[in-house]
Amino acid sequence: MTSRRHVLKGLTLGSGAALLQPMASRVLANAEGTPPSPRFVFVIQSNGLDGIQVCPETIPFLPFRERHSFQEFSLFDHKLPKGMEAFEELQDRLTVIQGLSGRCTGGGHSVHGGSLGLFRTSEASRSPVNETIDYRLGRANPGILPWVGVGMSASSRGALMNMTATAPHKSLPVLLNPENAYNAFFSVAAGGKAERRFHLKRNLLDYMVEDIKKAQKQLGPVGGVEIEAYLSAYDELARRQDSLLRNRKVLARSIKPMDNRFTSEVATERMEAQFEIAATALIGGLSNVATITCSATEYNVQPYLGIGIEDTLHSIGHSGGNSREAKGTASYLKYRGWLFGVMARMVKRLESIPEGAGTMMDNTVIVFMSDAPDTHHSTAYEWPLVVLGNLSRALKLGGRYLSYPGHGNAGHRTVGSFYTTLLRAAGVQAGYFGGTDSALSPETQRGTLPELLA
């Protein structure tokens, strides 16, 4: 082993350095027993997630006020509920977590960036008021970029700007058009016109940054925080383009050509393309964290026409989903079943990529949640989570159904504690992530969820 390390450390890669260095680094890390960087994917779906919809019928489901103790069930002893069939073959990676609350977000049709930051946004701007967990995890273990964000919208807008943030009121764009996302992340290595456009954009960014710096110098104190934020945004874009340029050969190994889904008018087809972009970003080392939104923050729209659901999300929500017999439950289960199928294909793709003694999926956690805690008109008293993966057993997850005591009962915990647990598993020491609930004792909201840590 020692001689192998010496050989790898002394390896001269020559002209192939940009292409082979990531491979050599991984081999060296494996030889020295260094674990791969942890990866996280957050899938954020709109319109609420009622806990009963992810509860097997053979497990008793109680309203949160009636849950007085922590309970655990093995998913291997129960058949997954309707809508979750795509995860049947992945039960060893699957964990369902019930009972965590997020009252600090306020609830409603959507809590926007509060779903990832555990904070309340204003009705007027919906601007994030703090750093979100996806960016914080990406900052701790960055790839070429700390984070990538893609998603689906029922409208033609280009980006979602109120979901992920690097700091208070500093949002990052979740790209909603897969063709634009592909060009933004991979055009540097795509060749032809796309690659020429990348270099043109890079030159324009250089000019823009220089012009803004000149204006800032001339304005002096008059420019204030506004021009500083403006410069920061363009600087961030310029740095991203530089990173992509330096790693173009690495990205070229993992990208696939665009197909018709990338330009489709059908929202569900575009969403499938976005999942491929996110998976490729992880495989190519573009980032170790991806956020994928599915019509997040939208509720009076029809995003699922492509799978035969003609009702708007709002009408489905008002048909109810908080019981197995509610009229809207069938639509909920149908579109969630489709989305879980797309997620399962992502898992299979990551399982096909060797890494260390296992696969990339062994070092990845995928978290599924709604941007509206619990039901369509969310109260945030509970926030169901569906989790795939365990970070090479840094987390004690897989085959588990966990139910925490309800809000106000002894032993109750919050989503902030779940996020703190993810940070701890990623090697970040944090006392607590996100805002706090004034109705709960401080002890309830400190530290990790010990039931999840190995």
Strand partners, 40: 289, 365
What DSSP element (H or E) covers 401?
Answer: strand 400-403
Per-residue tokens: 225: 């925080």
Q: Which of 91-95, 268-272, 323-327, 401-405 has the lowest mean pLDDT?
A: 323-327
State residue 125's pLDDT score.
80
Residues 112 and 161: their CA atoms lie apart, in Å, by 10
Q: Which of 129-133, 194-198, 264-268 has the lowest mean pLDDT?
A: 194-198
Is the alpha carbon torsion for 166, 147, 149, 433 positive or negative? Answer: negative
pLDDT digits (tens, 9 = 90+) for 17-28: 433 444 445 455
Residues 11 and 442: their CA atoms lie apart, in Å, by 53
Which residue, among 146, 149, 194, has the nearest Cα to 176 in the 3D structure?
Answer: 149
Q: Specify whether the CB–CB gap between 128 and 417 falls below 8 A.
A: no
Strand partners, 358: 355
pLDDT band at 6 (very low <50, low <70, confident <90, very high): low
State residue 136's pLDDT score.
97
Residue 167 has pLDDT above 50, yes or no: yes
Per DSSP (E only), the strands in 12-128 are: 39-45, 71-74, 94-98
Mean pLDDT value across residues 236-259: 68
Mean pLDDT value across residues 245-274: 83
Mean pLDDT value across residues 38-64: 95
Mean pLDDT value across residues 21-48: 73
State residue 245's pLDDT score.
67
Q: Specify whether the CB–CB gap between 452 and 395 falls below 8 A.
A: yes
State residue 35's pLDDT score.
73
Residue type, 296: A
State residue 34's pLDDT score.
66
Residue 5 has pLDDT above 70, yes or no: no
What are the CA-CA distances from residue 142 to residues 425, 436, 454 (Å)? 15, 28, 24
Complete edge-to-edge strand list for the sheet that includes strand 289-294: 71-74, 400-403, 94-98, 385-388, 364-370, 39-45, 289-294, 148-152, 170-175, 159-167
Mean pLDDT value across residues 136-153: 93
User: Can you say whether residue 285 is alpha, beta or left, with left for phi > 0 and alpha for psi between -120 and 50 degrees?
Assistant: left
State residue 256's pLDDT score.
74
Residue type, 387: V
Q: Specify whether the CB–CB gap between 100 and 383 falls below 8 A.
A: yes
Mean pLDDT value across residues 97-124: 94
- Cα angle 239-115-113, degrees, rounded to a multiple of 5: 45
What DSSP element (H or E) covers 387?
Answer: strand 385-388
Mean pLDDT value across residues 377-401: 96
DSSP 8-state symbol, 140 = H
Q: What percent of the chain lies above the pLDDT cut of 90? A: 61
State residue 296's pLDDT score.
96
Residues 27 and 45: their CA atoms lie apart, in Å, by 37
State residue 20's pLDDT score.
41
Q: Specify whether the CB–CB gap between 10 and 337 falls below 8 A.
A: no
State residue 244's pLDDT score.
67
- The radius of gyration computed from the CA coordinates of the chain, to the nearest angstrom, equals 22
Mean pLDDT value across residues 366-393: 95
> Could you give the 3-state DSSP secondary structure of residue 112?
coil
Mean pLDDT value across residues 180-195: 66
Mean pLDDT value across residues 420-442: 94
Q: What are phi and psi of 271, to 5 degrees?
A: -65, -40
Residues 410 and 67: their CA atoms lie apart, in Å, by 10
Residues 1 and 8: their CA atoms lie apart, in Å, by 11
Residue 50 has pLDDT above 80, yes or no: yes
Residues 8 and 17: their CA atoms lie apart, in Å, by 13
pTM for the full predicted model = 0.84
Residue 398 has pLDDT above 90, yes or no: yes
> Could you give the 3-state DSSP secondary structure of residue 258?
coil
pLDDT band at 213 (very low <50, low <70, confident <90, very high): low
State residue 200's pLDDT score.
45
Residue 187 has pLDDT above 70, yes or no: no
What are the CA-CA distances from residue 448 to residues 38, 99, 282, 332, 421 (Å)? 18, 15, 26, 31, 5
